[in-house]
């Protein structure tokens, strides 16, 4: 029989079990609340990563991921959640309790990006973290790897933003009202409408190796849709990941052609103020959060936040912004966000990068522009370099890259799915392209940018040479054409006809080019032409400066001449960076100024004026890291990155062949280099040396290019008269230094003007041999040249001109103050200019 005591314990046990059951059941049955959504920028529509989303007044919350998505799960919810992030105004939204809810935020930018940083007594705790970052760069920087490769997905979108009421009133904009109405709906409740113009996606395989530094991108698939974009072959090469490389372990980053100092540069303390604001787990990494601002707002530096891992002092995440206070033109804001992960070898590689460039409105009635870039990388393979020949071409596009598979196939290629807004962008661009007035404006814009009118299989132009006027020809009219890739991807035909109404002479040019290989760029061409020229203007050397050459057809032709020329040219890239060229040229020279010479072996000393020459040209050019892209049948250089461009040219004139009058040999070596000076800006150095053996009339030597106009030109000697000096052996140096905002940014009254200092130096050390001097006829019983005196250098005295000036005046104007330091004797040259104030116009960021 159970005792009373046993009954009591049994009841107590039952009560305990009942209480425990009710407690557990109550908790298990308590309803869980799930709130999820996306945080985007109200201006651009881009996702905002790293945003704090929490229940108001609690510590319950989370941080948005790189794509702006967040999820909060809790059994003790409040009724309001708050989204906040540095540089943005916080937003609150009401939420319910229980179930799953979607709450999206659109955050507007705050007036100021960071609160004032206050440093207490003692060392700033952020400093020791940054010192560790610098000490561990050799371990964490991806440049320590001998090689790496990965799969990459790139997405680019270009939009019109700041669509004001004044902008809407413009004639062309009224024609696209239907599209603008759709834009309003896409913007969302808090967002500002943007008008999409271009969107592209590409999937590539990217390869890099060190020693030698080589890279190669194989674009496997590309999808492009843009207003005015048709073929997309050129654009496809530009939208890959090769142009989206941002390594903050470098001291300086090149963005929109400008050099920005990294917040983890070796000299970080010179440029930034820092504040240690938080420590948090990001995935499995415990990280310190550091906020920073530039010491000088006008410097090319960032404002933002970095997350540094505690264990390895590596950069885990970064979010930086360049605001309109910086010394930049036409740019309202640049924003870069990046997330990195460690590789098996310890170095960290970026897995996701997002870049936004906000271009400001040029006038009150115009709109701005947004350029948005997103890159995702995965499947890393490190320290397995391939043979150098594998990297022969920096960018290669697969033959079927532009074959548009259906949307379902692209969903398997993308690293993340497109948002609903991005899918609508494709549809809106298609609508825009089919509006008649938009098509008309696109055609006009293409003519302006390309210089040619696209007539299908041929291009008509270039328009810049249609009209000219000078003292020899009077009014000159000209028309021309070249064939497109639709005509042939092997053959390129060009033709040009011009007529002068004063000299009543017809000028012409015709050429045919055969592209023998695109793999190792190989071309064979033949050209014939009859035209006018100026002594000292070498159109072969200045071929890339087509605006300068077109401008030479205007004004007074000092030392002008008529010529007939036939040229054969063969060119091939033998290996990466090394191009070999072979050419044969025949030229006749018929001067329109007082000119004379004597033949080297003419004992009678007869004075002649016309001559002919036949030349063989062999040229070797080496540019180790020059980047090329192919635009239909043309190959375009984007310049060298780190190494100089070296060109060696051999020219030999054969007397007696095709009536040639001279026998001579010329050797020329030129070196061009872009030099980065960090906080001191960037410089461009061009040095050339040439040596001529044998005798020839002075137009076949080197008449140094002077400038008697009021405009400054970087390729001329700006205080030298046209044809003032001629050499057959010389060494020259032309140096331009752009100081960006150095010094002027530190002067309070100058900061708002955003003027920039510039310096220049032009030096020639040269001479002319006695053999060539003897070919110039002299006045009777005098040492003075008979025809328009030709100046020559003293052997021990260089020509020197130094300049200094200010650029970026009203964003377009440059003023240079140039001093000529040598050859100032007015008895030799009564018109010598010792000092000049010259103006030029330029478009720079």
Q: Which of 101, 50, 51, 47 is nearest to 74 (CA)?
A: 101
Length of the chain in residues, anyone? 845
How wide is the angle at C-alpha 427 spanned by C-alphas 421 and 429, nearest 5°? 100
Pairing of strands 611-623, 645-653: antiparallel
Rounded CA separation 326/314 (Å): 28
DSSP codes, 607-651: -B--EEEEEEEEEEEEETTEEEEEETTEEEEEEESSSPEEEEEEE
Q: What percent of the chain has pLDDT over 90?
A: 40
Burial of 330 (0-12, 13-18, 19+ CB in 10 A): middle
User: pLDDT, tens digit, for every residue of 606-624?
Assistant: 788 899 999 999 999 999 8
Instruction: Give all domains of the chain, ordered by start, each with its CATH number.
Output: 33-107 (2.60.40.1120), 451-636+647-661 (no CATH), 665-845 (no CATH)
Q: Which two tokens stand for residue 258?
A: 């400008």
- Between residues 200 and 205, the one the model is more confident about: 205
Rounded CA separation 792/74 (Å): 88
- Tell whether the model's pLDDT for residue 61 goes beyond 70: yes
Q: What is the dihedral of CA 600, 606, 607, 611, to 10 degrees?
A: -60
For residue 545, the model assigns a pLDDT of 64
- Between residues 307 and 544, the one the model is more confident about: 307
| pTM of the predicted model as reported, rounded to 2 decimal places | 0.81
Q: How many CA atoms lie within 13 A of 829 on its CB side?
A: 20
For residue 179, the model assigns a pLDDT of 66
Rounded CA separation 289/456 (Å): 57
Helix 177-187 to helix 420-433 angle, to the nearest 10 degrees? 170
- Tell whether the model's pLDDT for residue 186 goes beyond 80: no
Longest CA–CA separation in the chain, Å: 155
Q: Which two tokens stand for residue 413?
A: 């290629």
Among the residue ranges 375-379, 717-721, 781-785, 841-845, the one predicted with the least confidence is 781-785
Grade residue 241 by pLDDT with cuts at 50, 70 and 90: low
Q: Which two tokens stand for residue 790?
A: 């030709």
Rounded CA separation 550/144 (Å): 48
Instruction: Tell me the average pLDDT across 353-359.
Output: 89
Element (H, E) at 726: strand 726-727
DSSP conformation class of 831:
T
- Tell whether the model's pLDDT for residue 295 goes beyond 80: yes
User: pLDDT, tens digit, for every residue of 523-546?
Assistant: 999 999 999 988 877 777 666 666
Phi and psi of 507, rounded to 5°?
Answer: -110, 150
Cis before residue 462, ω within 30 degrees of 0?
yes
User: pLDDT, tens digit, for every residue of 764-790?
Assistant: 999 998 888 888 887 766 667 776 666
């Amino acid at each position: 029989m159970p005792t009373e005591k046993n009954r009591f314990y049994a009841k107590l046990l039952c009560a305990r079990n009942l209480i425990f059951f009710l407690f557990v059941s109550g908790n298990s049955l308590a309803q869980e609340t799930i709130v999820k959504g996306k945080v985007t920028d109200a201006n651009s529509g881009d996702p905002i990563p790293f945003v704090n989303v929490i229940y108001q007044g609690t510590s319950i919350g989370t941080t948005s991921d790189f794509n702006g998505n967040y999820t909060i799960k809790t059994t003790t919810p409040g009724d309001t959640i708050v989204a906040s992030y540095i540089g943005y105004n916080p937003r609150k939204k009401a939420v319910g309790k229980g179930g799953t809810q979607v709450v999206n935020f659109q955050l507007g930018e705050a007036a100021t990006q960071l609160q004032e940083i206050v440093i207490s007594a003692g060392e700033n705790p952020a400093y020791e973290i940054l010192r560790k970052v610098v000490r561990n760069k050799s371990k964490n920087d991806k440049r320590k790897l001998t090689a790496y490769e990965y799969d990459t997905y790139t997405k680019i979108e270009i939009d019109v933003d700041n669509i004001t009421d004044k902008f809407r009133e413009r004639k062309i904009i009224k024609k696209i009202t239907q599209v603008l109405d759709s834009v309003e709906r896409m913007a969302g409740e808090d967002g500002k409408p943007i008008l999409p113009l271009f969107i592209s996606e590409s999937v590539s395989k990217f390869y890099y190796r060190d020693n030698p530094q080589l890279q190669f991108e194989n674009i496997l698939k590309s999808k492009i849709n843009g207003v005015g974009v048709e073929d997309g072959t050129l654009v496809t090469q530009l939208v890959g990941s090769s142009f989206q490389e941002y390594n903050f372990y470098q001291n300086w980053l090149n963005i929109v052609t400008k050099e920005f100092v990294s917040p983890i540069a070796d000299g970080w303390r010179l440029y930034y103020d820092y504040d240690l604001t938080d420590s948090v787990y990001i995935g499995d990494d415990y990280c310190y959060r550091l906020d920073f601002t530039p010491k000088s707002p006008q410097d090319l530096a960032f404002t933002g936040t970095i997350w540094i891992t505690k264990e390895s002092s590596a950069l885990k995440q970064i979010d930086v912004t360049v605001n309109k206070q910086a010394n930049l033109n036409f740019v309202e804001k640049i924003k870069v966000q990046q997330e990195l992960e460690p590789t098996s070898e310890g170095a960290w590689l970026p897995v996701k990068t997002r870049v936004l460039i906000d271009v400001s409105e040029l006038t009150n009635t115009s709109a701005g522009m947004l350029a948005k870039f997103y890159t995702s990388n995965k499947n890393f393979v490190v320290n397995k370099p391939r043979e150098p020949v594998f990297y022969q071409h920096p960018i290669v596009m697969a033959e079927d890259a532009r074959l548009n598979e259906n949307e379902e196939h692209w969903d398997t290629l993308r690293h993340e799915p497109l948002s609903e807004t991005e899918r609508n962008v494709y549809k809106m661009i298609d609508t825009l392209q089919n509006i008649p007035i938009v098509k008309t404006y696109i055609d006009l814009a293409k003519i302006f940018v390309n210089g040619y009118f696209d007539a299908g299989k041929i291009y008509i132009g270039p328009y810049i040479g249609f009209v000219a006027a000078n003292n020899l020809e009077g009014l000159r009219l000209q028309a021309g054409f070249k064939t497109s890739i639709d005509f042939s991807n092997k053959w390129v035909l060009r033709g040009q006809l011009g007529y002068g109404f004063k000299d009543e002479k017809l000028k012409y040019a015709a050429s045919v080019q055969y592209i023998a290989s695109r793999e190792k760029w190989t071309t064979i061409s033949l050209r014939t032409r009859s035209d006018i020229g100026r002594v000292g203007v070498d159109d072969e050397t200045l071929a890339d400066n087509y605006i300068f050459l077109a401008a030479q057809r205007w004004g007074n032709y000092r030392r002008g001449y008529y010529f007939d020329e036939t040229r054969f040219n063969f060119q091939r890239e033998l290996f990466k960076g090394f191009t070999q060229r072979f050419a044969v040229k025949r030229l006749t020279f018929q001067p329109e100024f007082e000119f004379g010479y004597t033949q080297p072996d003419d004992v009678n000393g007869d004075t002649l004026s016309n001559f002919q020459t036949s030349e063989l040209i062999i040229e070797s050019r080496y540019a180790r890291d020059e980047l090329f892209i192919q635009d239909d049948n043309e190959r375009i250089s984007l310049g060298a990155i780190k190494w100089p461009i070296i060109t060696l040219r051999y020219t030999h004139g054969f007397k007696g062949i095709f009536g040639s009058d001279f026998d001579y040999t010329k050797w020329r070596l030129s070196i061009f280099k872009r030099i980065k000076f960090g906080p001191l800006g960037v410089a461009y150095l061009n040095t050339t040396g040439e040596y001529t053996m044998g005798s020839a009339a002075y137009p076949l030597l080197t008449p140094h290019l002077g400038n008697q106009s009021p405009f400054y030109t970087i390729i001329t000697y700006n205080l030298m008269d046209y044809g003032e000096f001629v050499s057959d052996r010389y060494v020259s140096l032309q140096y331009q230094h752009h100081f960006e905002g150095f010094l002027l940014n530190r002067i309070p009254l100058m900061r708002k003007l955003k003027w920039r200092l510039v310096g220049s130096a032009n030096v020639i050390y040269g001479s002319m041999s006695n053999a060539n001097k003897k070919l110039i006829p002299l006045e009777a019983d005098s040492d003075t040249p008979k025809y328009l005196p030709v100046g020559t250098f003293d052997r021990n005295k260089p020509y020197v001109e130094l300049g200094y000036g200010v650029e970026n005046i009203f964003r377009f104007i440059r003023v240079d103050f140039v001093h000529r330091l040598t050859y100032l004797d007015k008895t030799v040259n009564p018109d010598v200019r010792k000092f000049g104030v010259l103006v030029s116009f330029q478009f720079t960021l």
